[in-house]
A and B are shown apart, each in its own frame.
Chain A
Amino acid sequence: MAVTKVVMPKLSEQMEMGKIIKWLKQEGDRIQSGDILAEVETDKADVEMEAFGSGVLRKILVPAGSQAPVGTLIGVIAEPSEDISQLGGPDMAPQTPQAAQPAKPSEPTQPAKPSAPATAGAGATEMANRPAAVPPMPRREDHAARTPSPAAGPEAPPASTRTAPGTPARPSAPAAPMPAAASLEGGRVKASPLARKIAAQSGVDLKLLQGSGPGGRVVRRDVEAASAGGGGGARPAVMPAVAPGVEFEDRPLTPMRAAIAKRMPLSKAPVPHFYVTSEIAMDRAWSLREELNALEGQPKISVNDFVIRACAVALLHHSGVNASFQGESIRVFHRAHVGIAVALDDGLITPVLRDAHAKGLAQIAVEARDLAERARHRKLRAPEMSGATFSISNLGMLDVTEFSAIINPPEGAILAVGSVRTVPVVTEDGLGVGRRMMLTLSCDHRVMDGAMGARFLQDVKRLLEEPLRLLV
């Protein structure tokens, strides 16, 4: 059996510290991989921390109410017979991932298995071999590779996608049903020199591409297809690498407020915003929605769901908007993960509706509601809180005509949605009554220009004004 180190997980791009709200298991409890060990408060939400190995919770190193940096050893799971003195000494200081020691020969560890765990034990094995394994950043292959183990929650990320903080995001296993970029081998992207050059120039992340050359080599056409936003041979294989967060500052704020306070200026100041506003005639969407909601056995659909669906569809055709500034490059996404801002009493949180472009209105409605509800109860899981490629902020329920939102970096744009208002409109016959909604798109000028944003908005407008398009 193996020793499983329990470390403070990294639960969002920006997370550097976490606070143990409470331990749900006590020292001496038997643990199955996938069991919830503790609740952790992060800058975004309270998150359940699961066990990645089985055995007995031999040691709790960070008590409830205490904070610890990401990667710190906070507990040890092992069989009673295991010697954990090397790990769980009373004077053990919080470890940084870098300071963690590799497994010693005497420790009964096993090599990491590359495949997704099919049994509860596999996670432990994986865990034991990594000094600071944590739950993963959400990744493309999460969905495909999700083979829930009996004991794991339905959303338990597979061990194969775990990423150690401080190490580069690694690709997943070749055994995953939807393979990661075949060009990734041992963390190295196989790409032709030209493909590398073009990727660097156009801001395409080679790691996102599945190469079409021999052995999965990323070649020019893959990069060009990616940067043009077309399909081509390239398919995004993994989510973008995590952008480095700011340095931690210990503030007497709630983690969420702290995060908002920290992140918003970081967006507004360095990100040169510009805004594009358009008025949408919502009459037809409104009646369609009423029709749909009248159907029995169907989920209720909100105006916001229409907006999400419209944006997701439009983003696929405007990859320049579905993009992120990366310093030396622009990362263009070929999948639309839409962040939906949810207001909370003391702040807001933006859960991510993944692959929105691939989901119908009904599915969007169901998922969006679920995300919003769990967000309000702070029950979101880590993968649901990061990785958005675009966000929507809707203040329509608060009778807001229009407003502009602050971009949530590293996203390149956010759409601010106003109320659907009943207003006098000019018709062919004269004056009439119409339902109108204002949309304001905030854009990162480093990523796109006005016309690009306007064209995107134009498409969103068309989709909403001809809403049958959203059903096909």
Chain B
Amino acid sequence: MAVMTYREALNLALREEMKRDDRVFVIGEEVGLYEGAYKVTQGLLKEFGPRRIVDTPIAESGFTGVGIGAAMTGLRPVVEMMTFNFALLALDQIVNSAAKMNYMSGGQFNVPIVIRGPGGPAHQLAAQHSQSMEVYFYHVPGLKVVRPSTPMDAKGLLKSAIRDDNPVIFIESETLYNIKGEVPEDPDFVIPLGQAAVRREGADVTVVAYMGMMYRAMEAAEELEKDGISVEIVDPRTLMPMDTETILASVRKTHRVVVVEAGAGFAGMGSEIAAEIQEAAFDDLDAPVERVTGVPAPMPYARNLEKAKTPSKERIVEAIRRVCYQDGNGSH
């Protein structure tokens, strides 16, 4: 184990996998000479050379398509989106080419590609550079979607994503790149896709949250602990495939659920998790599943508005109290 930042953990995962498999290469804007807009690929050009660390012009659809074509013909590209907002320019390639290739070719051409980069709300980057993108991807059959919250997950999940034979959307977070945590240095350490993590054990309520929202939920949990509410936090880590079992197991224990997501709630991850829970664990619920979601507005620039756009600790606390019937609104 070593303590390193989330960014360093990603870098380590890339280096290890590139060393392990010559078919792995990194392609994207500023990944080489510039060493990455967020320095995730720092040092890689020096170590692996321009054949495997490929700087591209600004042509997201083009270089994503190049990655897919390369994956169809035997390589294992890691495509970096400088930010995931730009992945929308490549959305057709991701959705219509990468996701469906194996299916529409009857299993002849799989696409082992990782498309990674930072996404989600950031700090005062305004409407086009600060948004939760996962919802665009996990709806598409054929894509796996990963949202790693910790340095250890960043490394273990990125390695699994690179080794996966299918397209994996791997959305990091600008706000997490500098967080530190313990990370195994063992090059064989991987975290399988599709396994949720219980971040905090609790008895009274399950909070499902990932990325920044997971940390915010953690703060809420600590505050509520003082009031005797014991919060369990489940981090799905992989949104597709979703580890529904771990979530359900927690729900069957606590009987109450709050789902937190940074994105706008309509037809979001919270809706999906709520639906899964009511289908599979209806009789275990003591309260309706609550969602705490981003406000359905584009991300504003102004600091105060930005703060109001994403779920706050206070809103999470309120929701937890509501499902625990401790918000004073019952007829107790």
A residues at B contact (CB < 8 Å): 182, 192-197, 210-217, 219-221, 233
Contacts and interface: CB of A to CB of B under 8 A. Distances in A.
Contacts of B284: 193-194, 197
Contact of B255 (A182, A194, A196, A211): A194
Contact of B329 (A193, A197, A211, A214): A214
A81 B286 CA distance: 56
A221 B287 CA distance: 11
B325 A214 contact: yes
Given A193-B282, A194-B284, A195-B286, A219 B331 contact: no
Given A194-B255, A219-B325, A221-B325, A212 B330 contact: yes
B226 interface: no
Given A194-B255, A221-B325, A212 B331 contact: yes
Given A193-B286, A220-B286, 20 more contacts: A192-B285, A194-B255, A194-B283, A194-B285, A196-B283, A211-B330, A211-B331, A212-B331, A212-B332, A213-B325, A213-B330, A214-B329, A214-B330, A215-B331, A216-B331, A219-B286, A219-B330, A220-B255, A221-B325, A233-B330
A195 B283 CA distance: 8
Point out which of B283, B325, B329 has the most chain A C-beta atoms below 10 A from its C-beta.
B325
A210 B283 CA distance: 20
Contacts of B331: 182, 210-216
A221 B332 CA distance: 11
28 contacts: A192-B287, A193-B282, A193-B284, A193-B286, A194-B283, A194-B285, A194-B286, A195-B286, A196-B283, A197-B283, A211-B330, A212-B330, A213-B287, A213-B325, A213-B330, A213-B331, A214-B325, A214-B329, A214-B330, A214-B331, A215-B331, A216-B331, A219-B286, A219-B325, A219-B330, A220-B286, A221-B325, A233-B330
Contacts of B286: 192-195, 219-220
A192 B255 CA distance: 10
Interface string B281-299: 0111111000000000000
A235 to B, nearest CB: 11
Nearest to A232: B332
Contacts of B325: 212-214, 219, 221
Contacts of B255: 194, 220
Contacts of A220: 255, 286
A104 B329 CA distance: 43
Interface centre among A196, A214, A216, A233, by most B CB within 10 Å?
Answer: A214
A195 B255 CA distance: 10
Interface in B258-300: 282-287
Interface of B: 255, 282-287, 325, 329-332
A217 B256 CA distance: 15
- 3 A-B pairs with least C-beta separation: A212-B332, A194-B286, A220-B286
B251 to A, nearest CB: 10
Contacts of B287: 192, 213, 219
Nearest to A218: B286
B205 to A, nearest CB: 12
Nearest to A233: B332
Contacts of A194: 255, 283-286
Contacts of B330: 211-214, 217, 219, 233
Contacts of B282: 193
B283 A193 contact: yes
A42 B74 CA distance: 90
A360 B166 CA distance: 77
Nearest to A223: B286
A194 B281 CA distance: 9
B114 to A, nearest CB: 40
Contacts of A216: 331
B182 to A, nearest CB: 37
Contacts of B332: 212, 233
A182 B282 CA distance: 22
A211 B332 CA distance: 7
A23 to B, nearest CB: 47
A193 B288 CA distance: 9
A211 B287 CA distance: 12
Nearest to B282: A193
Contacts of A195: 286
A155 B287 CA distance: 41
Contacts of A196: 283
A210 B255 CA distance: 20
Contacts of B283: 193-194, 196-197
Nearest to B255: A194
A196 to B, nearest CB: 7
B242 to A, nearest CB: 22
Nearest to B287: A192
Nearest to A197: B283
Contacts of B329: 214
A182 B331 CA distance: 9
A88 to B, nearest CB: 46
A214 B329 CA distance: 6
A322 B330 CA distance: 29
Nearest to A215: B331
A220 B255 CA distance: 9
Nearest to A195: B286
A197 B255 CA distance: 12
A214 B255 CA distance: 16
Contacts of A214: 325, 329-331
Contacts of B285: 192-194
Nearest to B332: A212
A18 to B, nearest CB: 40
A236 B249 CA distance: 33
A186 to B, nearest CB: 18
A210 B330 CA distance: 11
B78 to A, nearest CB: 45
Nearest to A221: B325
Nearest to A211: B331
A219 B331 CA distance: 11
A216 B329 CA distance: 10
Interface centre among A194, A197, A211 (most CB of B within 10 A): A194
A212 B284 CA distance: 18
A212 B330 CA distance: 5
Contacts of A182: 331
A193 B332 CA distance: 19
A96 to B, nearest CB: 37
Nearest to A191: B286
A192 B322 CA distance: 14
A452 B329 CA distance: 38
B306 to A, nearest CB: 32
B331 to A, nearest CB: 5
Contacts of A212: 325, 330-332
A248 to B, nearest CB: 39
A159 to B, nearest CB: 26
A194 B287 CA distance: 8
Contacts of A219: 286-287, 325, 330
B319 to A, nearest CB: 13
A469 B325 CA distance: 38
Nearest to A200: B283
A351 to B, nearest CB: 35
